Amino acid sequence: MPRARSREEFLEDVPDEPRQFLCRVCTDHQAIHVRSTVTFLRTSKVAHLKTKGHARALEARRKTQAEPSANHTSAPNPIEASRTVELCLIDRFNGIDNNGDLMEIDPPDLFSRVSLQDGHLVDDELGKAVVFSAGETGSITEKNSQVQLEAQLDDAEYLGEHDLFSIIDPTSGIGPEREVDEHFAAERHCLEDSDEEAEAEASESNWADDHEWAPHGSKTMFMLDLLDNIPRLRLSDDHLRTILWVMRECQTPNVPSFSALRKMQSKLTKQVKIESRHHTSSLGNHFFMNHPAKLLALDWGNPLVRSLLRVYPEVEGPVKEFWQAEKWTREVDLDELSPMWANWKDPSTLHRHYYVKELAQLENGNFVIPLRWITIDDVVHAEGFDVEYDKESVLFVVHTNIIKRHLASSLQKNVLDLEVTHGPFEFSRMSHFQLHDSMPNILRETSKGKPLFRIRVMVWSDDVSGNVSKQYNAHTNVYVTNVNIPHRISSQEYFVRFCSTSPHASSSEQFVALSDDFKANVWNEAYDCELEQEILFQINPHLLPADNPQQSETSSHIGVKGNYNCRRDLVGGTEAEKESDKVYQSLYKIGTPRTSKETIQVIRWQIWTACAGHQEPLQTNYSQSGVKDKISQYWIEELLARAKALRACRISNPATRDVRLNRTSLKGEARQQVKLSIEHEIQLELWNWVVKQPPESYSCLEENDPSRSDVRAGDHYNVLLNIRGIDPHQDTPVEILHTWLLGNDKYLWHDTNKQWDKKKDGTFAVRLQSSSIDGLTLPQIRADYLVQYKNSLIGKHFKILQQLGVFHVYDLCSDSLFRLWKAAGELGALIWFPEISNMPTYLADLQILIDNMLDIWAEIDPHRIICKVKLHALTHLSDDVRRFGPAILYSTEVFECFNAIFRRCSVLSNHLAPSHDIAITLADMERFKHIVSGGWWKGTGGHYIQAGEGIRTFLVRNSDLQRRLGWAEGSVLRPGTLKLQPRTKKNTSTWRAAIGDIPIEEPSPPGAAWETFKYLVSRSGDPCRVDSWVFFVREEKTLVGRISSLLTRSGSSSTGATSSSTDVIIIIKPYNINELKDCVFDMPVLTPSDTGHLIVNPKDLLFICNAQHDCKLGTCKFSTNSRFRRQERLETTIPHTTIVHSALDRYLLNTHALHNAHLIRETLPRSLTAPIPYKTNRIHFHEGLAATLRVTGPAKRAASQAKAKETRDRKKAANARQPSSSQSRLETIVEVNGDEGP
């Protein structure tokens, strides 16, 4: 009897596949049914030998060997059986019954024969590993799909074996096993639809030529692309597959396959040229970035955006945009402004480009040299030097002593034209610009005849959670916004451009990649849809808004906890130093500004000191300078470790130290000098090492580049310190959301309510709920919520309290806190000015109000400004408004809102490459927004194209899509128009019934029927309703009053109001504004006028305002009889406490209101709005407070130190009483075993 063969003897090597085995017994057995080989990975040998298929093959061979040889079937040639088995994966959880058991699936689930063994998928029936191959004849798409599927299954296997991902995953709550099963379910769905996808792809040619919906090919494909790119309604791949399946089941025509949809999206994103580029920081962290140059290039080709772009500064008029404030109009270098202009309206002169610093001729024959292009009342002017031509000397004389302005449209010849007519020209007196060297402007060579422009951006960064849940998943994000677009438009999510995110790389590292687009020699190509030609543009950073900790990091600052805790100036010191008269006084004003140049010098010194291994001087320097850079800290820590090791090797270790130190004769000062020499050698060695880091960056430097021997921006320290046109110390403005609302307002609210009991809580809630919000543009107040969660409020809640709180806390807090409420309300209204007509007056008022508020805080708590840097930061607000414009321009609320979009993209990523996946997703959104907005891009043929008419008009006509994409233009309210009541609410009546007891005669012709309407639009665009307080014009006088009735003749078709219209009647009860302000609230007082009710022309309404009833003087009472609480939209029997206003007809004009605050102050007499300084001698006042702090401060610090020491001693004693773990185990063993011991 022949010897039985071992199971492993049937395994054979596979030619050209060293990692695989061929099982001879399984191959022979399989050949009976199908000509194929059974192969598997060598690492799956044990798993294969245990499979049922291998056992059946062995049993079949044993039976065959026992039969006569005549019945033996020879095995096929392995070469002939080269086809691999192709598996179709079916989800085993396709259906679950009510009891949670698997339901029977027809056809049988082939996935039941596949198991995961030794890290590989194995077919239990065939006994072989699953090979993801479709054969050589398959399409490239199928091959890529199989390769991708294999990679995804590997990822799923990894997820199944590691619990870590179920912890990090924001969708955690389901176990890893279920996650893998659901992942397999999605893949099964993908593979199951292969036939349908093939059919859909085959029919693609039937609708691909639908030009109306180009480039998508059909409306169906466009709508699916739309569904996949709605920012706040993110869909997973499985959602989309399900939608496609439902559409097919409903027999919807032209339904594409999932792969066809993804293929189309990827193709369009590449055509629009939005790519996510990979970057590696100097610290070795990887991340992906959508560069702003590519994103902002879309603005030029977007017809909805291009008309909004302002490329020249505006030098006159009110300040309400960035390009009207001083940084843009006065500080920005001339070489950072748009360098050229042409008369785009005249086709015959489009080719004639005028550049700055070039000679040009006016229509009147005079010569000028423009230095910059500006606008005045939206008309472009050339601002520069006049030039006189001396015919005798044939020289041009430049008058540099005065700068003049000329209409740009008056230019007739540029420098190229003059060279033709005058030949080479010379100047008799040159300006400091060296004009003879710059004519023609060197940028003409760069432009190659294309227009050149420069735009400026606002760069925002912060740490953001990638989870929707409360579990924090740290990412650092970078966004940009084009500040050449009006703020009312750009402050919407549509205009926020996501650049990058990373859970590893800090903002300082990501700024390095961002700075590639800010270089002076980088010009980016774009298509200008307004000029209908290609242009080149440059990007310059303008400001860096963020919260205070992030702005400190952006400025290479130590942070708000440091002794010198202001990123803007050098104010600060130790606690004791801040209690001195000089330093304490300095906290209430702007100190010596920090500069990027000085900060770089400090960082360079820190790195040099780290090369010597001296840590104590570094800590002292951090504390005394306030400079601590994120990137340099990485190298400093590395250098300290290396220096420590080298000093130990060369100085301390007797076995390896320098041979000079082994001399016994070397002692005293001589030995010390040798050590210092060795330390200096180590320092130089480490310096030479660090300047060559990272090697990839160092190798790109030119041989003669001086930076090869020095530390470099981006590689060794913050790149923003070395970018032209921006200083991170001075260009990180005070951000009102975090510094004001979540700073001062939060402190004030906490100090006010921390002593309240439930009764006072209830009193404040009732009063606040009874406030009038007409004219405040606030949502309905939820006063009970604000009081219940008074320690967890957010920005929008503090906006409510800031505008209304002062009316309700007059008897619920101390007099000093009430004064602080009034000061904060006045200051808050000025901070929210949308435009500033008189900048000097505004800045003077703003400074007084800031000083008042800080002085009242000092009166309440002198130590508050020492421990709360947000109060000192407010001293810089006046300077920021002067340089950048109104504070609301650089509020970060729109970026905080955009974080919600980022989180939804983060949740749907696979969390293996979050930076890449999120960047890709948001790049697709940008591409879709551009196409649906009618934007232009370069097609495959090299010509610029835009979407078909069906797509271009879809966004314009669809307000729902506009809102979902984050751009809501809002309904245009034309002054004088009115809004009628819905038909169901129309109530027609006679004149007398309509106006009640108001003594006004009916306008002619009498006897008409009258009906009310909802509102009428004022000149400012405000909707004015019944009971609204309005300013209006009457006989060339500006008055204020309250609307009593809004009436229109019944049946009138007019929806607008004109001065001669008798169909629209507005009845207003006029009020007088008292000459003196209220002595309690310091607000203008409104009392009824003797003139009685007036009929006002609709066009004479100016703007609305807010007024509150003087409940304090009127002693208004609480009532529980009139109203009941509502729950679930139903009225309960629970009494609802409200305020019943007394008959006192006296109101307070709310000057704390944010809406129309600028119009109110322009309308009222200066005596009612001018702020009054709280302290006339502030220096003496602060010195007195500092003297008090020098007494209380040391005592508090001593008490704090004593308490800390007591806590340490108590913990030390508690630890001493507890036996060590080994002693505890020993005592336990002894106790169990008696005296015998262990």
**Tell me: the pLDDT tens digits for 403-416?**
999 999 999 999 99
* 14 pLDDT more than 70: yes
Q: Compute, in degrees rounded to 10, the torsion defined by CA atoms 574, 577, 578, 583.
A: -130
Range 789-797 average pLDDT: 95
∠ Cα 688 689 695 (to 5°)? 120
- The predicted model gives 102-130 an average pLDDT of 42
436 and 427 in contact (C-beta within 8 Å)? yes
Best CA proximity match to 199, nearest among 268, 250, 248, 237: 248
The residue that leads in pLDDT, 92 or 1092, is 1092
Our CA angle for 544, 548, 552, nearest 5°, is 70
Whether the model clears a pTM of 0.95, i.e. scores above it, the answer is no
CA dist., res. 240 & res. 262, Å (int): 11
For the cut 80, the answer to whether the pLDDT of residue 924 exceeds it is yes
Rounded to whole angstroms, what are the CA distances from 966 to 35, 46, 482? 60, 58, 15
Give me the amino acid identity at 561. Answer: K
State the Cα–Cα distance between residues 305 and 291, nearest whole angstrom. 19
| Residues 1097-1111, mean pLDDT to the nearest whole number | 95
Between 602 and 210, where is the model more confident?
602
Query: How sure is the predictor about 1061, in pLDDT bands with cuts at 50, 70 and 90?
Result: low
pLDDT at position 429 is 65
Contacts of 1073 by beta carbon, 8 Å cutoff, 6+ apart? 1040, 1084, 1085, 1086, 1149, 1164, 1168
- Nearest partner of 53 among 33, 82, 76, 73, judged by Cα: 33
> What whole-number distance in Å separates Cα of residue 752 and Cα of residue 787?
12
Note the pLDDT tens digit of each residue in 715-750: 999 999 999 999 999 999 999 999 999 999 999 999
HSE, CB side, 13 Å, CA atoms: give it for residue 761: 14
Q: Where are the alpha helices (DSSP H) in 933-997?
A: 949-957, 959-964, 991-995
Nearest CA to 1069 among 1026, 1016, 1126, 1013?
A: 1026
Q: What's the CA gap between 153 and 114, in Å, rounded?
A: 13
pLDDT tens across 1154-1189, in order? 999 999 999 999 999 999 999 999 999 999 999 999
- pLDDT at position 121 over 50: no
Of the candidate ranges 127-131, 217-221, 357-361, 588-592, the one whose mean pLDDT is the lowest: 127-131
pLDDT in the model for residue 1162: 95
Residue 647's pLDDT is what? 93
Q: What are phi and psi of 1127, to 5 degrees?
A: -135, 135
The overall average pLDDT reported for the chain is: 85
